[in-house]
Amino acid sequence: MIALEHVTKLYGSVIGVNDVTVDLADGAHGLLGPNGAGKTTFLGLVTGQLRPTLGSVRVFGEPAFGNPRVLRRIGYCPAADLLDRTTTPFEWVRYLVRLAGFAAPEAGRRAERALEQVGLTAAARRPVTTLSKGMRQRAKLAGAIAHDPDLLVLDEPFNGLDPVARHDLVSLVRGWATSRSLIVASHLLHEVESLEASLAVILGGRLVASGDAVEIRRLVDTLPGEVRVRCAEPRRFAELALRIEGVVGVRHEGDMVAVATRRPVAFVEEAVARAFDERLGVREVAAADRSLEGIFGQLVRLHRGGMP
Amino acid sequence: MTGMSGISGAWPVAMFQLRRLCTWPRLAMAAVGAAFPAAVMLAVGRASRGALPSDVAVALLYALVPEAVCMLGLLVTMCPAVADELERGTWAHVATRPNGRRALLLGTWLAAVIWTGLVALAALALALPWARVDEPGRVAAVLAGLVVLSCAGRAALFALPAVVMPKRALVASVAVALVVEYLAGTIPAVVNQATVSLRLRSLLVAGMGWKRKLPTEMQLFIDPQPPFVHVVAVAILVVVFLTIAIAILDRRQFPPGDEL
């Protein structure tokens, strides 16, 4: 469905994406990465808004940039908020459907249906600026699905939503993705996971990992984890740590020793026991951040050839 | 579903843009624009105590309506064609529709012509009674025709800065208006053939039957071709300007940070 071959996108001297090669089959895909990782640039390339500086982007077997045949089959919901003061969700969605090539009466029907699908019928004729952020997100989503595209592309669709709105939107998108293809860019792993999508992790403009959620978690588990220990004898603890199996690096700052290990749980059990025996005065043991942001940070450091 | 090209997509865009223009501040601006020439004609009429020659009054109406009102109206409606979409966060929605960029440009051009044309025609209708010209019907017909040509031609001209430098489109358009329309347009050489202002002046002279009255040196500033040649020339300019603007817009890329 989507094939990027050695794609690099530069904005002057700034790299948007860097030598990305990926082949995404039909189905649901999540694009994960922290802010500024290159997700929106990736989506801009896929949705034909941006032309690659190097490499090729093909969607449905054709070059994507400005290609009407490709664009007709894509529904795009960008991250930018809808700030059109003068329009209503109904007018906006109908307008987009008309731009997709439908006659006025059909566009009106499709707009009504899409707004109903996203649960916005009651607010369909209120000015966009009087709507909550969640409602505006729904209006954008309705605009993306109303022309019945084969591929729905959502850029940070859950940003700024309260938990209830987020849950509703996840349910809606998941339902939609059962019969069509979907790409969701997000920095929230659990939300993309809940869409049962295959995942690609993008960092610094590069795709650094891909697979399903289980594979990504397994990859994350194989990454060296960091354990931080505060103790009275940090130098001796560092020497001790280096003798424990699985330890790949030790850093020492003041009374804190940061240990990178491939077996964090086993390390803690063994190191704490030995430190107790050797009376090293351990005061605190803490695992490093294993949240998605933390994992991103680790992946970035690994990617740059550094210690995790 | 129809295979919507940029041309057929222009109509829904034009209707949408016209709805966007129907806000109280915009309507108030339009009302001021429509009343402005009448106020000037009234003031001039009083100052001259009704002794303003008819030809001078027509020339003044020409300067006020097809030139000033149309120019100002088009600066407000055509220049932000792309910038508005970027500011409203709607560019990505439009650019990811088949031929959406073309439809946006052509539709905005059409909306600018309709909106500014209506304001200018209203301005003409309001100002004409105060001008006390001979043959008001003929003057109205000639100036109304010039309004239509002025709007179509200048909106197409302003489409170029709108797509080349969207964030500075207003400043660039003023510069283009001054340099192209009012400087190059008055140079009696080949360069003025590609300006709308030469065609409008020539049509005014032809339409009002002033050719024989014009002093020899003033004849340099018009083109003595028959009126239909000027109309066709404006139509060609419209097609050329819009084609170039579309070609540029089709290739424009806006990094994600450009959308506010």
Identity of the residue in B87, B92, B98 whose CB atom sits nearest the CB atom of A100: B98
Query: In this predicted structure, which of A67-76, A211-220, B11-20 has the lowest mean pLDDT?
Result: A211-220
Q: Which residues of B touch A91 (CB under 8 A)?
A: 16, 19
Confidence of residue A5 (pLDDT cuts 50, 70, 90): very high
**CA within 13 Å, CB half, B210:** 21
CA of B214, closest CA in chain A: separation in Å?
49
Q: Is A205 on the interface with B (CB under 8 A)?
A: no
Nearest C-alpha of chain A: how many angstroms from B22?
Answer: 9
Whether A224 contacts chain B with CB within 8 A? no
Contact A273, A229 (CB under 8 A): no
Using a CB-CB distance cutoff of 8 angstroms, which residues of chain A are in contact with residue B3? 101
- Measured between beta carbons, the chain A residues lying within 8 angstroms of B13 are 95, 99
Q: Give me the residue from B89, B98, B253 closest to A72, CB to CB.
A: B98
- Please give the average per-residue pLDDT across A263-289, as a whole number: 83
For residue B90, the chain A residue with the least C-alpha distance is A82
Distance between A102 CA and the closest CA of chain B, angstroms: 5
pLDDT at B3: 47
Residue A293 Cα to chain centre, angstroms: 11
Domain A2-218 is in which class?
Answer: alpha beta
State whether residue A159 sits within 8 Å of chain B by CB: no
Rg (CA), chain A: 24
Q: What does the pLDDT look like over B117-174, one tens digit per residue?
A: 999 999 999 999 988 888 899 999 999 999 999 999 999 999 999 999 998 888 999 9
Rounded CA gap, A86 and A184, in Å? 29
Q: Give me the pLDDT at residue B1, please.
A: 52
- Closest chain B residue to A50, measured at CA: B253
Task: Looking at the complex, report in whole angstroms how far the Cα of residue A106 sits from the nearest Cα belonging to chain B.
Answer: 9
Would you say residue A76 has pLDDT above 60? yes
Provide the pLDDT confidence category of residue A303 given band limits of 50, 70 and 90: low
Residue A253 has pLDDT above 90, yes or no: no
pLDDT tens readout for residues B193-245: 889 999 999 999 999 888 777 777 777 788 888 999 999 999 999 999 999 99
Q: Where are the domains of chain A?
A: 2-218, 223-303
**Phi and psi (nearest 5°) for A284?**
-155, 135
- Among chain A residues, the shortest Cα distance to B26 is held by A86
* Chain B neighbors of A36, CB-CB under 8 A: none
In the numeric block, the tokens 């008001």 are attached to B136
Distance between CA atoms of residues A4 and A19, nearest Å? 9
Q: Three-state SS across A121-175? A: CCCCCCCHHHCCHHHHHHHHHHHHHCCCCCEEEEECCCCCCCHHHHHHHHHHHHH
Instruction: Please identify which residue in the block is written with the tokens 């990736």.
Output: A42
Rounded to a whole number, what is the distance in Å from the CA of B20 to chain A's nearest CA?
Answer: 6
In angstroms, the separation between the Cα of residue A105 and the nearest Cα of chain B is 11
Q: Closest partner residue to B99 among A68, A86, A106, by Cβ? A: A68
Q: Name, in order, each residue with C-beta under 8 angstroms of B118's C-beta and a sequence gap of 6 or more.
A: none
Give how far Cα A66 sits from Cα of A44, A74, B16, Å.
Answer: 11, 12, 22
How far apart CA A60 and CA A180 sit, in angstroms, is: 13
3-state secondary structure of A15: strand
pLDDT at B28 over 90: yes
Cβ–Cβ gap B98/A87 under 8 Å: no
Q: Give the number of A-B residue pairs with CB atoms closer than 8 Å.
A: 102
| Chain B nearest CA to A48, separation (Å) | 7
Note whether A143 contacts B: Cβ–Cβ < 8 A: yes
CA atoms of A185 and A182, how far apart (whole Å): 10
DSSP B78-115: TGGGTHHHHHHT-HHHHHTSTTHHHHHHHHHHHHHHHH
Look at phi and psi of residue A69 and say left if phi exceeds 0, alpha if psi is from -120 to 50, else beta: alpha
Residue of B nearest to A142 (CA): B93
Predicted pLDDT of residue B151: 97
Over range B80-109, report the average pLDDT. Answer: 92
Lowest mean pLDDT among A41-50, A159-168, B73-82: A159-168
Phi, psi (5° rounding) for residue A18?
Answer: -130, 105
For the whole model, what pTM was predicted? 0.84
CB B81 within 8 A of CB B110: no
Residues of B in contact with A68 (CB under 8 A): 98-99
DSSP assignment letter at A196: T
Interchain pair A101, B89: CB under 8 A:
no
Lowest mean pLDDT among A87-101, A178-192, B136-150: A178-192
B26 contact residues in A (CB cutoff 8 A):
none
Q: Residue B259: closest CA among chain A residues belongs to which residue?
A: A80
Whole-number pLDDT of residue B260: 39
Say if CB A151 and CB A130 are below 8 A apart: no
Q: Chain A 28-57, CB below 8 Å of chain B: which residues?
A: 40-41, 44, 47-51
The CATH classification number of A223-303 equals 3.30.70.100
Q: Which residue of B has its CA nearest to A43?
A: B256
Cβ contact A113:A120 at 8 Å: no
Residue A97: name the closest of A80, A85, A82, A114 by CA. A114
Eight-state DSSP code of residue A288: P
Q: How far apart are CA B218 and CA B221, in angstroms?
A: 6
Distance CA A216, CA A208 (A): 11
A34: enclosing H helix or E strand: none
Inter-chain touch B1–A101, beta carbons under 8 Å = yes
Q: Which of A47, A83, A101 sits opposite B88 (nearest CB)?
A: A83
